[in-house]
Amino acid sequence: MNFPERFKWPYRILASKELAVGLFIAICLFAVPGTFIEKKDIYSSPVFVTLLGLTGFNLFLCTLQRVKTLSRPVLVLHSGVFVTLLGSVISSLGFIATVNIYEGGTVDRVYRWDIRDDSLLGINLTVKKINREFYPVPVKVGVLKDGEKSGLFILRTGESFNLENYRIRVDALEFPSEYLKLSVFKQGHFIGFADTSGGTGLPSDFPYEFKLVAFKTPLLKRIWVDLMLSKGAEILTEGSSEVNKPLKWEGLSFYHTRADVDQYGMPFAGIQITRDPGRPFVFFGFAIMGFGAAAYTMRRLYGFK
């Protein structure tokens, strides 16, 4: 390309392979803390974004300089890398935020890791319920009739036992509150529920009570939270969130990251909110690179152009 003399030396530098190698090494060095010590905010730092931008610009100039000598598959590969880098730069305009919310609680402020400060979310975020599902666990269920001991049953959650005309199914062990949820059937028909904490939805003439005598500590199978997004009195959306299955709304993704109880036994959930506007570009770039790599392989193996 013909440039004025004063532009030739910066062009040679910006389009050089040496600069490409140097930028690649610098990106790797900056990425190490984010990989091993989980400093995720480094990927949105001005230095890292500048390195990505320079790499993309260098790739563009290198491709432009050699466009007549590069094969089509290589040009496709270069295009995919360029789109991916562009998506990474666009992603830096997004953010990652976190917040802990008590079950039944609502917040409108979150901690933004890019600015390292609390920030208004713009909507209200409510954790309606923290749900846990456990693998079947052995339990001992004591039965009282008119206040007197009537029986003791040893079984696993999900199984049933019989009491005269009734069938009692042990549905689940609620943990860490440590009580059993039971369903009661009479002659095959569901008539209500009960739990070992004293809660009941059974007819008033049902003669039995249930007590949790012993249980084996359960193994957690699945955990998720029910979320609600609102603004004022308007409910914007509702849904559940669990690991790798976030609730999504208006470009925001709400991930459930933890569930625990505080020192007073109050359950809370950790929620991570992300906005990543460059994500579609990154995946599209990967798709282009995959197509280019396949075309290059076919060309090398079979001589396709």
pLDDT number for residue 18? 80
CA distance 34 to 40: 5
Contact partners, residue 27, CB within 8 Å, separation at least 6: 48, 51, 52, 55
Other C-beta atoms lying within 10 Å of the C-beta of residue 6: 7
CA distance 107 to 129: 15
| One domain for residues 233 and 103 | yes
Span of 42-46, 62-66, 94-98, 163-167 with lowest mean pLDDT: 42-46
Boundary residue ending a domain (174, 192, 215):
215
| One domain for residues 81 and 118 | no
| One domain for residues 67 and 90 | yes
pLDDT number for residue 41? 64
Contact partners, residue 71, CB within 8 Å, separation at least 6: 296, 299, 305
pLDDT number for residue 129? 92
Other C-beta atoms lying within 10 Å of the C-beta of residue 210: 23
Please report where in the chains the tokens 């990425």 appear, as a residue: 31
pLDDT number for residue 140? 93
| One domain for residues 117 and 240 | yes
Q: What is the mean pLDDT of the chain?
A: 85
Contact partners, residue 268, CB within 8 Å, separation at least 6: 100, 101, 102, 103, 105, 127, 130, 259, 260, 261, 262
| One domain for residues 44 and 142 | no
Residue 257 has pLDDT above 80, yes or no: yes
pLDDT number for residue 9? 67
pLDDT number for residue 1? 52
Estimate to the nearest angstrom the gap between the alpha carbon of 169 and the chain centroid. 34
pLDDT tens figures, 181-195: 999 999 889 999 988
pLDDT bracket for residue 35 (50, 70, 90):
low
Residue 45 has pLDDT above 80, yes or no: no
- pLDDT: which is higher, 75 or 272: 272
| One domain for residues 233 and 298 | no
8-state DSSP, 265: S
Span of 103-107, 195-199, 258-262 with lowest mean pLDDT: 195-199
DSSP string, 125-159: EEEEEEEEEE---EEEEEEEETTEEEEEEEEETT-
pLDDT number for residue 34? 63
- In terms of Cα–Cα distance, which of 67, 57, 55 is closest to 24? 55
Residue 4 has pLDDT above 80, yes or no: no
pLDDT number for residue 240? 95
- pLDDT: which is higher, 64 or 256: 256
pLDDT number for residue 47? 80
| One domain for residues 196 and 268 | no
Cα distances from 184 to residues 93, 200, 211, in angstroms, run 55, 10, 15
| One domain for residues 19 and 74 | yes
Under 8 Å between Cβ of 271 and 256 = yes
| One domain for residues 256 and 145 | no
| One domain for residues 9 and 59 | yes
| One domain for residues 19 and 30 | yes
Kindly state the average pLDDT of the residues 203-207: 86
Boundary residue ending a domain (190, 215, 240):
215
Residue 180 has pLDDT above 70, yes or no: yes
Tell me which residue range forms the domain holding 193: 136-215
Please state the domain count of the chain: 3
| One domain for residues 89 and 10 | yes
Span of 41-45, 166-170, 176-180 with lowest mean pLDDT: 41-45
pLDDT number for residue 270? 94
pLDDT number for residue 2? 54
pLDDT tens figures, 99-142: 999 999 999 999 998 888 899 998 999 999 999 888 888 999 99
Please report where in the chains the tokens 């290059």 appear, as a residue: 296
Across 50-54, 82-86, 173-177, 270-274, the highest mean pLDDT is recorded for 270-274
Boundary residue ending a domain (215, 243, 259):
215
